[in-house]
Amino acid sequence: MKASQFFISTLKEAPADAEVVSHKLMMRAGMIKRLGAGIYNYMPMGLRVIRKVEAIIREEMNRAGAVELLMPVVQPAELWQETGRFDKMGPELLRVKDRHDRDFIIQPTSEEVITDIARQELRSYKQLPKNFYHIQTKFRDERRPRFGIMRGREFTMKDAYSFDRDVASAGRSYENMYGAYCKIFDRLGLQYRAVAADTGAIGGDRSHEFQVIADTGEDAIVYCPSSDFAANIELAEAVALLDARGTAAQALVKTPTPGKATCEDVAALLGLPLTQTVKSLVLATDELDEQGVIVKSTVWLLLVRGDHELNEVKAGKVEGLKGGFRFASVAEIDDHFGCKPGYLGPIGLKKPVKIVADRTVAQMSDFVCGANEADFHYTGANWARDLPEPDLVADIRNVVVGDPSPDGKGVLAIQRGIEVGHVFYLGTKYSAAMNANFLDENGKPQPMEMGCYGIGVTRILGAAIEQNHDARGIIWPDAIAPFTVVLCPIGMDRSEEVKLAAERLHDELQALGVDVLLDDRGERPGAMFADWELVGVPHRVVLSDRGLKEGQVEYQGRRDAEATKLALAEVLAHLKGKLKL
Amino acid sequence: MKASQFFISTLKEAPADAEVVSHKLMMRAGMIKRLGAGIYNYMPMGLRVIRKVEAIIREEMNRAGAVELLMPVVQPAELWQETGRFDKMGPELLRVKDRHDRDFIIQPTSEEVITDIARQELRSYKQLPKNFYHIQTKFRDERRPRFGIMRGREFTMKDAYSFDRDVASAGRSYENMYGAYCKIFDRLGLQYRAVAADTGAIGGDRSHEFQVIADTGEDAIVYCPSSDFAANIELAEAVALLDARGTAAQALVKTPTPGKATCEDVAALLGLPLTQTVKSLVLATDELDEQGVIVKSTVWLLLVRGDHELNEVKAGKVEGLKGGFRFASVAEIDDHFGCKPGYLGPIGLKKPVKIVADRTVAQMSDFVCGANEADFHYTGANWARDLPEPDLVADIRNVVVGDPSPDGKGVLAIQRGIEVGHVFYLGTKYSAAMNANFLDENGKPQPMEMGCYGIGVTRILGAAIEQNHDARGIIWPDAIAPFTVVLCPIGMDRSEEVKLAAERLHDELQALGVDVLLDDRGERPGAMFADWELVGVPHRVVLSDRGLKEGQVEYQGRRDAEATKLALAEVLAHLKGKLKL
């Protein structure tokens, strides 16, 4: 293609509202254009990347035996009422009424519609397993859309749904999709990690997030460099850091710690390691009557080591907290501890509270904790001797770098990631709610076992840029670059030789199926190079009058520090090598 | 592809709510599945056709120099308020409020958004002309969605928008798109006609509808078989059928016509040709004050020959009626004519009315018209002698078959069509309303001249079927068939020879780039053939044990009355010939 037949619009400066580098670079490279909060036009340059991402996803989904269809953007509310999501979902579900005042939603995903299709179309075990997918516009009315198209409101997602006759078969469908996702992200040319993720209420171990590795990612990915363990921070198991509880060596002493309300301050004041201190977090659970009125509240004290952080998702799996919890009010704290936050601890309570100790805390001895008296802490505290054993011992903390890997094969590392895909075993959650049954060999109706598999198509663009950029702009992987090769002729309007050589190379590359752009805009070399470095085209060939007189052109890969001189006769072979053609 | 890797779901009977043949066949062939009124899932078989239609459109749009981008489905109301369409459009515009109570619309088209892009991106005459398009989901909240996906609520449309520096350049952009549309519909393999259409308030002659010819079409297409004249019924000019007014030969006679309130009945009663009668239609126009209160109404009498029909769009172009009109009330008619409808005419009015005569009526002599007295008509009525010349003479009727072509090159014919595309010169309607200016050579801001160009992607499926079907099902043109060739092996599970031959032919065709399906479902021959005739695959090859023993297979084109025996060794060459490979 020639630049004059395309639309190129680059900016020197990113708009002020662009926070993250991918957003800035996409705006500057003219890939997207803001239409409203979290709503973007995909400009020609950006759309080319989207189409390439979609094509790779489509090929691998088809290869994995999934069948493409297309479900509507505007969906009747009835189906969403069947599963209860119409009422249960918050304002992120965009609701709309038609001219007859009937309720519709703008789809954020399509579990309901695909389950409706499945219950009509998949009647017999002979038709299973089946996997349907579509690549379609989604809308989520985010409270605070941000990071450009990484957390927009309108976006493109590939969502697939598998239907199986039993759990074992659903497991194979899950593994099949897991494998397809690995192929997809391999082909996209991104560094990623598939990490185990929480399955929430469904249970089981079949949930993986596909995370693109990027320092700027919102998610923490836990992995073990010496094994294949990888999980997100919610799921990564934190083992006890002490094998057994030490014997009590110190006496319990109430120590003045005036104004020292954090473990860090207390440890510094007392000259003790932070690992000797225990942090107190006070939660509460409520029992409601049928009218939803609180009839009873229970106060909980969760204890983690001073250098650790509570993980709320893990806390939510503790028996008694599964139904939901909240942080306790100051009044509740005062009522049970007789003290303000900052000096709370498990010893000397005014009223009983449920005590949950993290695994490591449960093994500690001679520890420091709040004395339930302002400006005082205890030192030398010991379970059983100074306070009863905890009511519960559980994994309630985030892992930290250097923790033993739960598979026993080394220590954990943490990196940042951007979630771009998720495979998830749904079980019969939707099929049971919507009566999506098939008849088994005995003619008996059984609910279908389902899985869902999403890829954020447009988010991949942002994640790819967060991972691959430098000070000059984007560095696209070959497979998804808007153009694979750009030809930059210098003085094409003055030199017939440059023009002919550029056009011939353009035609030769195009004949090979290479996505090549000939920049015939007549820009000066500096501006031209800056544009293509910003846009991130991975391979550049510069043709100039002077070079051609010596039979030479210049090649530069987007990551190369400088250009390489090549004989004009060799450039095609050189590019074929680079592009593995 | 093998059928076992795909999803095939055919029905013996169409659902009761399917009215037209394309809707019935698409439902039966498992191409679409109803989700709600006017909202359909595109099932795998239907989606394949959509993708092929889209690919052809995309290729020809790109070839014509248009640049693809993608504008959002959910669009902020602000832009639609700038052009006034947010308020002016009726409930067919689906409006929605987000979580912050801000107004949005679900796009029915994208003039506002593209003009917003253009006013930001196209600043200089050097950047013009430019043509942007997208293929995107649209929503129109039709009052009565019907005909399946031909008049659905959610549908896919390709809409393109051109931006030019002046009217002459806009004309070239228009012609360019007209040419691209001809190539697109040629390639789709459809019989179609590009017909001149009304430009409404914009004026000018640059509006053409692309109509797929089908007896079941909603639109009447007027054309001249001996010239290139073609227009829709609103625009087709009706010439005067009499070259000059004849001399009055009869006396004006008030004749009793008891109970004969139509021209047909009067002509039959009097034994006169219908072409001797004149039909009266009474309209009214209102003048409003600034508060919108009617301050004055004018009554109009429109006269067409007894065998002709009023065309309201043409009437709306008559001076004085351009601002809008309504049919007169019975009270207004009584007030001005002193008579009830059925016996109205231009002679002997109680109060003055504006009289508009169709061109043919203005040339008539000795005609029959109502006498403004119940149960009476005049015969032998003559302009100038019995009543004043009409206030206005205009083309206000529909043409009929056999009318002279307005280009003087023959007589008109009429056929039915389904509108699938529209090219339209917009002028500065949107650019002026939205301040979309460019700087000309003198640095002076000028509004951009625009054109818009739509193709109903999903509607094309319906139109193609209305045009191409028989009692057994759909007959897809090769270019957009869900599969081009289907291989039907008989007894594939019993015969290794059949299996191997079918798989080899499948692989050979696939290697040639042919979209081939191997039906490995193990269905009986009858059911298998019925399925593929219903689905409409254009080429079928049957492989059987018996045939292969003689080295033969059977080929049948979807329009062929019977199968042809071919040597297995020749079938590939035969198909290559059929598919022009």
B 88-117 residues inside an 8 A Cβ radius of A: 91-92, 94-96, 98-99, 104, 106, 113, 116-117
CATH number of A49-74+107-237+414-465, picked from 3.40.50.10310, 3.90.1150.10, 3.30.930.10, 3.40.50.2000: 3.30.930.10
In this prediction, what percent of chain B has a pLDDT beyond 90?
A: 92
- Residue A14: the pLDDT is 87
Q: CB A68 to CB B44 under 8 A?
A: yes
CATH superfamily for B3-237+414-465 is Bira Bifunctional Protein; Domain 2 (3.30.930.10)
Rounded to the nearest integer, the mean pLDDT of chain B is 95
| In the predicted structure, residue B203 carries a pLDDT above the cut 80 | no
Q: By the 8 A CB rule, do B516 and B552 touch?
A: no
In this prediction, what percent of chain B has a pLDDT beyond 70?
A: 99
| In the predicted structure, residue B15 carries a pLDDT above the cut 90 | no
* pLDDT digits 0-9 by tens, B146-172: 889 999 999 999 999 999 999 999 999
Confidence of residue B114 (pLDDT cuts 50, 70, 90): very high
Give the closest-approach CA distance of A572 to chain B in angstroms.
26
The chain B residue lying nearest A156, using CA atoms, is: B72
Q: Which residue has the higher pLDDT, A124 or B292?
A: A124
Give Cβ neighbours of residue B574 (< 8 Å, ≥ 6 apart): B555, B566
- Residue A205: the pLDDT is 67
- Average pLDDT of span B470-496: 96
Cross-sheet strand order for the sheet of B552-557: B516-518, B485-489, B539-543, B552-557, B564-567
| In the predicted structure, residue B261 carries a pLDDT above the cut 70 | yes
Best B1, B5, B7 member to test A by mutation, with max A CBs in 10 Å, is B7
Q: CB A71 to CB B9 under 8 A?
A: no
Token pair recorded at residue B164 = 């030019």
Q: By the 8 A CB rule, do B15 and B27 touch?
A: yes
Residues of B whose CB is below 8 A from A42: 69-71
Q: What's the per-residue H, E or C state across B351-382? A: CCCEEEEEHHHHHCCCEEEEEEECCEEEEEEC
The chain B residue lying nearest A113, using CA atoms, is: B35
Max distance between CA atoms of chain A, in angstroms, equals 93
| In the predicted structure, residue B204 carries a pLDDT above the cut 70 | no
Phi-psi region at B341: left, alpha or beta (left = phi > 0; alpha = psi -120 to 50)? beta
Neighbours of B95 (CB within 10 A): 17
Residue type at A111 in one-letter notation = E
- Residue B198: the pLDDT is 83
- C-alpha A137/C-alpha A287 separation (Å) is 41
The one-character DSSP state at A521 is S
* pLDDT digits 0-9 by tens, B39-78: 999 999 999 999 999 999 999 999 999 999 999 999 999 9
Three-state secondary structure call for residue B410: coil
Among B75, B92, B139, beta carbon nearest to A74? B139
Q: By the 8 A CB rule, do A37 and A139 touch?
A: no
Instruction: Name the nearest CA neighbour of B383 among B244, B237, B239, B261.
Output: B244
Element (H, E) at A456: strand A449-456
- Average pLDDT of span B384-411: 96
- Residue B290: the pLDDT is 87
Q: By the 8 A CB rule, do B486 and B539 touch?
A: yes
Among B44, B69, B154, beta carbon nearest to A72? B154
β strands within A475-544, DSSP E: 485-489, 516-518, 539-543
Q: CB B72 to CB A35 under 8 A?
A: yes
| In the predicted structure, residue B201 carries a pLDDT above the cut 80 | no
CATH of domain B253-394: 3.90.960.10
Cα distances from A4 to residues A8, A521, B180, in angstroms, run 9, 6, 19
Residues of A whose CB is below 8 A from B141: 98-99
The one-character DSSP state at B70 is B
| Bond preceding residue A129 cis, omega within 30 of 0 | yes
Best A34, A35, A45 member to test B by mutation, with max B CBs in 10 Å, is A35
Instruction: Name the nearest CA neighbour of A481 among A185, A190, A49.
Output: A49
- Residue B16: the pLDDT is 86
Token pair recorded at residue A267 = 């440890």
Residues of B whose CB is below 8 A from A522: none
- C-alpha A369/C-alpha A252 separation (Å) is 11
Q: CB A94 to CB B91 under 8 A?
A: no
Q: What ranges do the domains of chain A cover? A: 49-74+107-237+414-465, 253-394, 483-578
- Residue A199: the pLDDT is 78
- C-alpha B318/C-alpha B311 separation (Å) is 11
B 154-193 residues inside an 8 A Cβ radius of A: 154
Q: CB A113 to CB B41 under 8 A?
A: yes
Q: CB B35 to CB A75 under 8 A?
A: yes
| Residue ranges in chain A whose pLDDT is less than 70 | 200-205
Using CB atoms within 10 A of its CB, is residue A254 exposed (0-12), middle (13-18) or buried (19+)? middle
- Residue B331: the pLDDT is 94
- C-alpha A370/C-alpha A344 separation (Å) is 4
Q: CB A73 to CB B137 under 8 A?
A: yes
Instruction: Name the nearest CA neighbour of B490 among B452, B519, B460.
Output: B519
The arrangement of secondary structure in B483-578, i.e. its CATH architecture, is 3-Layer(aba) Sandwich (3.40)
Contacts 24+ apart (CB under 8 A), B521-528: B521/B3, B521/B4, B521/B8, B522/B492, B522/B493, B525/B488, B525/B490, B528/B488
The chain A residue lying nearest B129, using CA atoms, is: A5
Backbone φ, ψ for residue B72 (5° rounding)? -65, 155
Interchain contact B6–A (C-beta under 8 A): yes
Token pair recorded at residue B106 = 């679900």
Dihedral sign for Cα atoms in the order A414, A419, A425, A426: positive
Question: ipTM of this predicted complex?
Answer: 0.90
Confidence of residue B205 (pLDDT cuts 50, 70, 90): low
